[in-house]
Amino acid sequence: MQKYLDEALAALRSLQRQIRWKPGKDLQHLEKRKALGHLPEDFQMEDYNELIVSLLRKSTNTVYLYRFGQERYYAVRGLALGVP
C-alpha cells in the first residue's frame, strides 16, 4: 500500500506545479463538465486549471485510487476555491 501512497503523492506534487493534459483532452473534458452542469458556461481552460490546482493543494481533500486492469488512476474530491 505504501507504494501506491508514494505514487499518488508524487503525482499530486507534479500536478500542483503544472496541469498536463493529453492532446485535445483539455477542451473535451472542460466541455463535458459544462454540459453536465459541473462548471459555468463561461469557464475557460485557465479557470478550469486553476480550479484543479486549488483542489489538489487542499490537504484535507480525499484522494481515491481506482484500478482499471493494470492501470491505476487517482481522483481527488473535496473543496476547490471554496466550492464543494
Q: Which amino acid is at 1?
A: M
The reply to whether the predicted model has a pTM over 0.85 is no
Per-residue pLDDT of the chain (84 residues; tens, 9 = 90+): 788 888 888 888 888 888 889 999 999 999 999 999 989 999 999 999 999 988 888 888 898 888 999 998 888 898 887 665
Give the per-residue pLDDT at 83. 60
Q: How far is CA 12 from the centre of its chain?
A: 9
Which grid cell sits at 31? Answer: 466541455
Q: How far is CA 46 from the centre of its chain?
A: 14
